[in-house]
Amino acid sequence: MSFDTGLMDLYIDTTENKIIEIFESLGFKLTRENNYFSAKLEQPDGRFHAMFSRLNGKIYCDFHFDNKKHWLFFGVDYKKKPKDFFNKKLRKVLEDKKLQFEVKEVNCLPEEIKLYLEDLSCSTLGVEFIFKSYFLPLL
C-alpha cells in the first residue's frame, strides 16, 4: 500500500464571493464555519470537500475527498480524486474566469510516520488494531 500524504492546496487570486459562486456553479453546498467556508459535493462513495478562507490577500483552499467513513487522514484522499476533479472541472472554470491560481502540494507527515503507515493493512480491522494499539496510547 502506498501512503501518499501530498495535500492539494490551492491559492487563488480572487474574492470570497467569487470562489463561493464558482463552487456553487459546480454543485457544491456551502456553509460558513467560524473562520472559513466549507464547500461539499456529495458523491456515491463520499464527498469532495473544499475548506477555504482569505490568507495573505488570496483565497487559500484545502481541497480533498472524504470517503464515506473517514477520520483525520484515514479514508481521506488528498491527491488522486481531488487532482482529477481539479484538472477536469475546477481548472477550466478558473481559467475561463481568467483567475490567477497556484497549486501546491504540502507534505504534512514526518518520514517516520509515513514509513510506519505504509505497512498498514487496507482492512478496516487492521486499521482499528493499529489505531488502538499505536495511536491511542499517544493521545
Query: Is 1 within the bounds of a domain?
Result: no
Whether 73 shows a pLDDT value over 80: the answer reads: no
User: Bigger pLDDT: 101 or 75?
Assistant: 101
Together in a domain, 123 and 64: no
Together in a domain, 72 and 116: no
Together in a domain, 92 and 126: no
Mean pLDDT estimate for the chain = 74
Please, is 53 exposed, middle or buried when counting C-beta atoms within 10 Å of its C-beta (0-12, 13-18, 19+)?
middle
Together in a domain, 104 and 51: yes
Instruction: Name the grid cell of 126.
Output: 487492521
Q: What pTM, to 2 d.p., does this model score?
A: 0.69
Distance CA 89, CA 19 (A): 14
For 82-136, write each residue's pLDDT tens digit. Answer: 888 998 999 999 999 999 998 876 555 444 444 444 444 444 444 444 444 444 4
Query: Is 44 within the bounds of a domain?
Result: yes
Whether 5 shows a pLDDT value over 80: the answer reads: no
Contact status, residue 26 vs residue 90, Cβ threshold 8 Å: yes
Instruction: Name the grid cell of 77.
Output: 484522499
Together in a domain, 85 and 124: no
Owning domain of residue 16: 6-108
Together in a domain, 116 and 126: yes
- What is the rounded average pLDDT of the residues 55-69? 84
Cα–Cα distances in Å, from 114 out to 5, 6, 10, 29?
Answer: 8, 11, 23, 33
Query: Is 17 within the bounds of a domain?
Result: yes
Whether 58 shows a pLDDT value over 60: the answer reads: yes
Together in a domain, 124 and 58: no
For 28-37, write each residue's pLDDT tens digit. Answer: 999 998 888 9
Residue-level pLDDT at 25 = 96
